[in-house]
A and B are shown apart, each in its own frame.
Chain A
Amino acid sequence: DIQMTQSPSSLSASVGDRVTVTCRASQGISNYLAWYQQKPGKVPKLLIYAASTLQSGVPSRFSGSGSGTDFTLTISSLQPEDVATYYCQKYNTDPWTFGQGTKVEIK
């Protein structure tokens, strides 16, 4: 099975900073990648699918890029409400595996 590895596992940044989270697949998955945000104590929320398509209603400061094995989630200007754990998920073939998550905190 294809493994999904996120880095870093956690990060701390200041409000307004540009934040980047990376997700790497152990084999190529084309652009079959989604990103989710899970705030503390809340249900996960879809941010991006097809590697770079922003889900309706998601702020434009979130963006995704990549194809093949390497993918990036970028928050262009970190806001206090962005404190959360972010997960990537591959879905080219089953199993539709999630990455282990990246916890984003405010410095």
Chain B
Amino acid sequence: EVQLLESGGGLVQPGGSLRLSCAASGFTFSNFAMSWVRQAPGKGLEWVSAVNYSDAGTYYADSVRGRFTISRDDSKTTLYLQMNSLRAEDTALYYCTRLLKYCSGGTCYSRVSDYWGQGTLVTVSS
């Protein structure tokens, strides 16, 4: 059974930093791309960042580029999100997601979230 367990959320002051972790189990972590998606209280979903499984290439939303860094440790089957220079608008529930691998027309993709963790809450407030 695929399991994704986020941790590291909490209350932080504006300008502060946090590192989120996502412990994965139930699948071969090194074979899957992973991502972070967030949801502000009472709001919709916002894609934040993703990391490939092959070349560890990374992708970011414009709202977090330059402030957040996604990384992975395949030996620990863990995904990370280092968040710096936090702002009030970063307040949200942060979900770790596994990216589905599928192939179409001879090309394979890993961009769709097929498994989600329960999320960890980040609150940025003074």
Q: Which residues of A contact B (CB under 8 A)?
A: 1, 32, 34, 36, 38, 43-46, 49-50, 53, 55, 85, 87, 89, 91, 94-101
Contact = CB atoms under 8 A, between A and B. Distances in A.
B116 A44 contact: yes
Contact of A43 (B50, B62, B119): B119
A85 to B, nearest CB: 8
Interface residues of chain B: helix, strand, loop or mixed (majority): strand
Contact of A95 (B61, B102, B104, B113): B61
A98 B119 contact: no
A46 B59 contact: no
A46 B95 contact: no
A86 to B, nearest CB: 11
A98 B44 contact: yes
B56 interface: no
B45 A50 contact: no
Of A38, A45, A95, which is in contact with the most chain B CB atoms at under 10 Å from its CB?
Answer: A95
Contacts of B37: 44
Contact of A32 (B35, B111, B114): B111
A95 B62 contact: yes
A53 B118 CA distance: 25
Contacts of B50: 94, 96
A13 to B, nearest CB: 21
B116 A91 contact: no
B102 A43 contact: no
B114 A101 contact: no
A46 B114 contact: yes
